[in-house]
Structure 1
């Protein structure tokens, strides 16, 4: 059995040129026997830094909270340590990111669609692990009405599945829990937000890529792109090169070169083919 914890995130104004608002959702997938170990290790971390018991680790910490008042070095070290603990516990992750600048669906429609993309990765992960799983999500914002609507939409995934994944490994409807009571949901917040920040070009996310990559799911060919990190639409595939350092994207068993090649010019529809999109930088 595996326990899967999911949370959403986003970036309204990415630093990379050509990107619009990003909306994302991510999962951290725990072997059942590692769930308690992760809690214990995070409790130790909390004691080490002097963080009050009733406060949670959040990417965007509330004003006045311990982490909001901590020094930048403490925040960086704490985030990295949480990811290292997760790696020691055998956690695997998947994050789906949608660019509304290229595909301007409503936020509600995007959230529904990317949850389906994430569910497919969860089912594939559980199948490859030959295990069953339970999915726990952070309680969505917006009040009880929005909460009920979200649960109804999520129920379709665990009863009907998607076009590409049948509901065979997730053994019950997705349930929700308050993140302040569940450290594993706080990890989902960190992984999803940090990955989205890295894709958007924010330093706070980019500096954690080396700690995020060991956690990310990989496909049968060893690549994270399309497995542990999914970017939509496909025009963004070259970002797998700039963010993850991968020079190949595999689709349907065929590898496609991404990022800079022998061509020294951008191709229409592929804004990141020869440039990482960062301001005043060109890494051709």
Structure 2
């Protein structure tokens, strides 16, 4: 079972980035569906989260009174606990993050379909690696739901130029996230990863459990497999986030960070700095 949710942030401390848009998936083995939900309920009880309260990265103004009165230590403990439980149950993840500061295409017409296609490719590839079939469940889209669902249906029928639709056996389904704890995990993974890319402390402090969850390629690297950054000029962030020194794209291996030649690719502003004050 694959659960999908989106994220977006304009709060971007990392110099050189603009608004970030993301879509994330968590891959839950069939035999982990019940155990993860049960362990998550146990974690909530341990931390004093009332039964039935939806677990969201940003509960918003309409959130239950509990979140408005929750202490500053509860959310970090809950977020880390959710991610660590997921990793312990063999759940894996993939997230696509699009920087509109580098490529400001129209959101609904171009960005959202492109991000969905990139994520769909990672879903098909992950299922192929596991020799598995999958069902994809997404959080109910908050806007333009009809167009989003049509794009999703086209993917499951026609695939992309790089992936044939073989492993996802149904059109992408939707469900309300407050009823599905695995969608709440997808919300956390997408939002925490987006926050880490943005350079926000709340996301950066979760890099370790996010790395445990992330899908990896045959060389054991997250870049391009468990985390896709677009456009490609952002590839050096894989060095600053996960310490990776090589990024493979279109059959070519690109040195990252301090290992990259100064003129390796124009526009790669993170070759020598992380945008947060650290330099190589």
- Contact 1:265–1:274 (Cα < 8 Å) also in 2: no
Q: Give the Cα separation in 2 of the matches to 1:180 and 1:56.
A: 5
- Contact 2:245–2:259 (Cα < 8 Å) also in 1: no
Q: Give the Cα separation in 1 of the matches to 2:89 and 2:22.
A: 24
1:282 correspondence with 2:278: yes
Q: Give the Cα separation in 2 of the matches to 1:266 and 1:251.
A: 14
Deviations along 1:46-73, one digit per CA (max 9) or x if unpaired, are 2112222221110002345323421221
Instruction: Indicate the SS of the match to 1:141.
Output: coil
TM-score (norm 2): 0.95
Q: Give the Cα separation in 1 of the matches to 2:125 and 2:260.
A: 35
Q: Give the Cα separation in 2 of the matches to 1:50 and 1:271.
A: 44
Give 2:89's aligned residue. 89
Shift in alpha-carbon separation, 1:236–1:46, aligned structure 2, 3 A? same
Give 1:60's aligned residue. 58
Give 1:251's aligned residue. 249
1:224 correspondence with 2:225: no
Between 1:220-229 and 1:266-275, the stretch displaced more is 266-275
Q: Give the Cα separation in 1 of the matches to 2:90 and 2:208.
A: 16
Q: Give the Cα separation in 1 of the matches to 2:229 and 2:185.
A: 21
2:8 aligned to 7, 10, 23, which one? 10
Give 1:31's aligned residue. 29
Q: Give the Cα separation in 2 of the matches to 1:182 and 1:62.
A: 18
Report how far residue 266 of structure 1 moved.
9.5
Report how far residue 253 of structure 1 moved.
4.0
Report how far residue 261 of structure 1 moved.
2.8
Give 1:106's aligned residue. 106
Structure 2: gaps (5+ residues): none
Give 2:49's aligned residue. 51
Give 2:139's aligned residue. 138
Q: Give the Cα separation in 2 of the matches to 1:111 and 1:68.
A: 31
Shift in alpha-carbon separation, 1:54–1:283, aligned structure 2, 3 A? same
Report how far residue 110 of structure 1 moved.
0.5
2:19 aligned to 14, 18, 21, which one? 21
Give 2:71's aligned residue. 71
Q: Give the Cα separation in 2 of the matches to 1:263 and 1:170.
A: 40
Q: Give the Cα separation in 1 of the matches to 2:259 and 2:249.
A: 19
1:182 aligned to 144, 160, 180, which one? 180
Q: Give the Cα separation in 2 of the matches to 1:151 and 1:118.
A: 15
Shift in alpha-carbon separation, 1:73–1:149, aligned structure 2, 3 A? same
Report how far residue 267 of structure 1 moved.
6.5
Shift in alpha-carbon separation, 1:266–1:160, aligned structure 2, 3 A? closer
Q: Give the Cα separation in 1 of the matches to 2:174 and 2:189.
A: 18
Deviations along 1:8-56, one digit per CA (max 9) or x if unpaired, are 0011131111101110000000111100111100111121122222211
Between 1:122-131 and 1:7-16, the stretch displaced more is 7-16
Q: Give the Cα separation in 1 of the matches to 2:183 and 2:88.
A: 17
Deviations along 1:103-152, one digit per CA (max 9) or x if unpaired, are 1101112111100000000000000000000000000113xxx2222211
- Contact 2:196–2:204 (Cα < 8 Å) also in 1: yes
- Contact 2:9–2:194 (Cα < 8 Å) also in 1: yes
Structure 1: gaps (5+ residues): none
Counting only pairs closer than 5 Å after superposition, residues 178-217 of structure 1 correspond to structure 2 as 178-217=176-215
Q: CA RMSD, aligned part only? A: 1.6
